[in-house]
Amino acid sequence: MRHALLALGAFGVAAGSAGCDLLAACTMPSACPALAEHPPPSFDVRYHTSAGNFTVRTTTSWAPPYAARFWRLARVAYMDGGPFYRVDRRDATDAFVVQFGYRGDPLTDQCWDENQSSNDTWSVHAPGNVRGTVAFAMGSVPPNSNCTSAQYCAQGFSTSVFINYADNSKLDASGFSIFGRVLPPGMDVVDRLYAGYGECAELCPASGHASPFCIGRGAACAGVSMDRLLDEGADYWRREKPRLDFIRSVEIVSPTPAQPARVAEADA
């Protein structure tokens, strides 16, 4: 996947908590003080989307490196305005994941991708990648202690996360560590996200080697081009994939940064 640094997209670089400069923060976290915070033991993040609202409850002990990143991304509202760019769901019996996290600023998204966090020690917590659980999308690296798969071993991650539509326990061996789950009845909203475009183009090319996580072939692979999303940002998906659902705003609803670290009930 190409990460060329091109012109800014429609959202600019200043966004999130107190006008945090997310482009500067990708290499200098002190540009956003919230990025130095440690997450509470459990917290709820609510997504207000074009398809409705849902809430993700995070349990930090399941996967501390990922929970910390998810908390910080929510604190700076990184995903505000971003699309659900990979929605692998044909029907109730043929579904995989929904993926999101890039905000639509080419320079900003590419910078965070080039300055990834990594995990080579944290194993997948029970119940693993089952329906409704949430994990980070990660690149493949040589085998390490965090995975048992001989084919794909996940480690580097930036801002892209996914929600499991189905029992995807096959992802556990590759080290895709879950850090939270969608609270009921939030999966009703996740199930409504627009899925008509199909699998991301780069994952299942018409010829050559396909990703081991590709879902679909031929016309089913007419989805978002991740290269173009990262190169062109919001201009691309709004113009060529206008039916994609998107995130209107993100908020931490329990606990808020000013509250003690406790779990409160939150509606999805």
Q: pLDDT for 198-242, tens place per residue? A: 888 888 766 656 666 777 655 567 789 999 999 999 999 999 999
CB 82 within 8 A of CB 250: no
Sheet holding 247-254, edge to edge: 86-91, 94-100, 161-164, 133-136, 178-182, 52-59, 42-49, 247-254
Q: pLDDT for 48-59, tens place per residue? A: 999 999 999 999
68 located within any domain: yes
CB 119 within 8 A of CB 136: no
Say how far apart CA 141 and CA 119 lie, in whole Å: 11
Q: Are strands 178-182 and 94-100 parallel, antiparallel or unpaired?
A: unpaired
107 located within any domain: yes
End-to-end CA distance of the chain: 34
Residue 61, φ and ψ in degrees, nearest 5: -65, -20
Least confident of 38-42, 92-96, 114-118, 144-148: 144-148
49 located within any domain: yes
CB 213 within 8 A of CB 200: no
170 located within any domain: no
For the chain, percent of residues with pLDDT exceeding 70 = 81
CA-only gyration radius of the chain, Å: 17
- Pick from 236, 231, 226, 229: nearest CA to 5: 231
Predicted local distance difference test score (pLDDT) of residue 219: 56
CB 268 within 8 A of CB 70: no
CB 221 within 8 A of CB 198: yes
76 located within any domain: yes
Torsion angle defined by CA atoms of residues 75, 97, 87 and 101, in that order, rounded to the nearest 10 degrees: 20
Handedness of CA 257, 25, 84, 198 (dihedral sign): negative
171 located within any domain: no
75 located within any domain: yes
Predicted local distance difference test score (pLDDT) of residue 195: 92
- Residue range(s) defining the domain that contains residue 71: 22-34+41-116+182-254
Q: pLDDT for 65-110, tens place per residue? A: 999 999 999 999 999 999 999 999 877 678 999 999 999 999 999 9
Number of domains in the chain: 1
Q: pLDDT for 153-165, tens place per residue? A: 888 899 999 999 9
Q: Average pLDDT for residues 167-172, to the nearest whole number?
A: 94
194 located within any domain: yes
